Amino acid sequence: MADPEILLKLEGIAKNFGEKQALARVDLEIRRGEVHVICGENGAGKSTLMNILAGIHAPDAGTITLDGRIVAIPDPVAASRLGIGMVHQHFALVPSMTVAENLFLGRQLLRFGIFCDRGAMIARTRELIEQYNFRLDPEAAVRTLSVGQRQRVEILKALAFDASILILDEPTAVLTPPEVDELIEVIDGLRRRGRTILFITHKLREVKAVSDRVTIIRQGRSIATHRTSDVSEADMARDMVGRDVFLAGRKRGVARHFGEPVLRLSGVVMNNAAGKRLLDDICFEVLAGEVLGIAGVDGNGQTELSEAIAGLMPIQAGTISLDGRDVTAVGVGDRQQAGLGFIPEDRLDRGLSTVMSVAENVAATNYRRSGLLKGGFVSQERLQRFAGARIAEFDVRGAKPETPAGWLSGGNMQKLVIAREMERDPRLLLVCQPTRGLDIGAAEFVHSRILAAADRGRAVLLVSSELSEIFALSDRIGVMYSGRLMRILDRAEASEENVGQLMNGGGQEAA
């Protein structure tokens, strides 16, 4: 009766957390030896589904059939006994221990029943590494490894105990582009050796690169399963979002008109405590109505540039002026008064307080301007109304004014930050990595907001390491390399080639 090709079958899986429905109905069939991608937007229920398979959550309804038998997975140990190995987004490794020690942590090979058998563990680890061609040193301490290498240790950990199904939860979220390529190679190798892999992601490019089949999940339901080769990225995007997606962008060749300069930097220099130059003689202007994109590989001074403009890091030389007013020596709050809106690159770091409520986060810079005070006290009624309106306007899902901001998914947190900063309709919008970690629907929304601000005559400075984003939104493109602003190109003269070259520090002579 059971199809021997099907290794794992989920039928009608549902899960609620309190009143919140995480999974409504998921059906899924995984064939033996395939790489199957589960694809969906943030908050669609991907992680919940995987946690059910890994024994972390119990489903409220539905059956799991493994190898033709209906199974229950009450806890992670049971999952591992059934041959389900999970690699989480955040690794569970001991940094001070070696690769081999981490691999056998909690299930060490013993000699005479009491001493741990280091030799055997190292040999077994080396065997595994060679078998899968992972290029790791079994005796290296994990803290010396790169993120990509650590991930391979996690994968090995699952494989070492004969996982027949390997679940990778958003494995590329923590990796750099070259590491992603390596991971895709690793997965190819595992497939050739007959392993079955479940791969979770919301990035469509990866789906195409890695998988045999793909199942799309939307709002807790499995929408469709396709052979990857039969389906286009646009189709997958539509399935994920539930409607046609138009990635926002400027039409080429339409002349646009700009106003007066809103932000002007001249000769800005920043050194760190050790005297190293972080920003070197930065000069540029952003005009009203214009989007200036700052491209560059992460860590070339973009963070320092944005912190300098926001007033969070002091500069040693040069001037910054906003709307014609010199704000070089002025604090963050006064810069905001002068017309600055700042969307920081990391919403968890500078964007939000995760333990404070959604309402308090979205009100943080707006108490006075939006009239939330009454007789010196915060009016709860006005605060609720204000927060409710922002939640509706920016479609922050899963948010009520009183929920802690930390309960939201990444994309919705980002919408919260944007809602707060856009509320004042600032003259200058400083936007850093606005769609990092966001899914398509949310990214589309954020982009349309940024363009709308520019159309209203606001100046936008967009700092992003995502080139496609820079190209889609910018009117002019500046490239940073090693603390210097290499060049500013008009959108028309910029191409992936010349910008890419500048990002690597080259191409000055081509100017």
Partner 1 sequence: MMQVRTRRLVQALGGPLAAIVLTLALGFVLVAAITDQPIEAYRELLFANFDSLGNFALFLNRATPLTLIALGVIFSFRAGIFNVGGEGQLYAGAISATVVGVYLSGLTPFLLLPLSILAGVIAGGILGWIPGVLKVRLAVDEVVTTLMLNIITLLATSYLANGVIRDRSSYGAVSRMVPQSIWLPSIPWVPQATSGFIVAVLLAVATWVVLFRTEWGAELRAAGTNLRFAQAVGVPAARRIIASMWIAGGLAGLAGALYVLGIGHRFEQNFSPAYGLVGLTCALLARIHPIGALATALFYAMMLNGAAYMQIETDVPRSLVNLLTGLLVLFMTARLRAAPREA
Q: Tell me the Ramachandran region of residue 80: left when phi exceeds 0, alpha when psi lies from -120 to 50, beta otherwise.
A: alpha
Distance CA 82, CA 190 (A): 19
Minimum Å distance from CB 296 to partner 1?
A: 21
Residues near partner 1 (CB under 8 A), total: 40
Query: What would the two tokens of residue 279 be?
Result: 């920003």
Tokens of 235: 């189709």
Q: Which of 85, 344, 426, 478 touches partner 1 by CB under 8 A? A: 344
Nearest CB to partner 1, comparing residues 193 and 374: 374
Say what the alpha-carbon torsion angle 91, 95, 98, 104 is, to the nearest 10 degrees.
-50
* Contact with partner 1 (CB under 8 A) among 6, 332, 451, 488: 332
Residue 39 φ/ψ, nearest 5 degrees: -125, 135
- Show contacts with partner 1 in window 12-51 (CB under 8 A): 17-18, 22, 47-48, 51
Give the DSSP H or E segment for 179.
Answer: helix 177-192
Region from 178-186, 286-294, 314-322, 346-354 binding partner 1, contact rule CB under 8 A? 346-354
Residues in contact with partner 1, shown as a per-residue x/- string from 355 to 384 under the rule CB under 8 A: xx---x--xxx-xx----x--xxx-x----
The footprint of partner 1 on residues 89-108 (CB under 8 A) is: 89
Could you tell me the smallest distance in angstroms from the CB atom of residue 43 to partner 1?
9
**Binding test (CB under 8 A) with partner 1, winner from 259, 331, 371, 506:** 331
Q: Give, in degrees to the nearest 5, the angle at Cα 433 between 89 and 482.
A: 105
CA distance 42 to 164: 27
341 within 8 A of 426, measured Cβ to Cβ: yes
Taking CA atoms, 152 is separated from 166, 205, 212, 389, in Å, by: 12, 21, 21, 45
- Residue nearer to partner 1 on the CB measure, 90 or 143: 90
Cβ–Cβ < 8 Å for 447, 423: no
Q: Using CB under 8 A, pick the residue from 176, 354, 370, 448 that binds partner 1.
A: 354
Judged by beta carbon, residue 305 or residue 502, the one nearer partner 1 is 305
345 touches partner 1 (CB under 8 A): no
Site string for partner 1, 217-256 (x = CB under 8 A): ----------------------------------------
Strands (E), 219-316: 221-227, 261-271, 277-287, 291-295
x-or-dash pattern for partner 1, window 71-90, by CB under 8 A? ------------------x-
Does 329 participate in binding partner 1 (rule CB under 8 A)? no
In whole angstroms, how close is the CB of 313 to partner 1 at the nearest point?
A: 10
Q: Looking at 19, 230, 349, 497, which residue binds partner 1 (CB under 8 A)? A: 349
> Would you give the DSSP letter of residue 465?
S
Q: Is 435 in the site for partner 1 (CB under 8 A)?
A: no
Q: What is the phi/psi pair of residue 501, to 5°?
A: -65, -45
Residue 357 · residue 388 · CB < 8 Å: no
Nearer to partner 1, 89 or 108 (CB): 89
- Touching partner 1, residues 398-427 (CB under 8 A): 402, 420
Answer yes or no whether residue 336 interacts with partner 1 by CB under 8 A. Answer: yes
Q: Which tokens is 185 given? A: 């190679």
In contact, 30 and 8? CB cutoff 8 Å? yes
Give the residue from 144, 487, 438, 477 showing the smallest Cα distance to 292: 477
Residue from 149, 167, 100 nearest 127 by CA: 100
- Sketch the per residue contact string, 159 through 188, with partner 1: x for CB under 8 A, - otherwise: ----------x-------------------
Question: At 13, which helix (H) or strand (E)?
Answer: strand 6-17
Least CB distance to partner 1 at residue 305 (A): 15
Footprint of partner 1 (CB under 8 A): 17-18, 22, 47-48, 51, 57, 89, 169, 310, 312, 331-336, 342, 344, 349-356, 360, 363-365, 367-368, 373, 376-378, 380, 402, 420
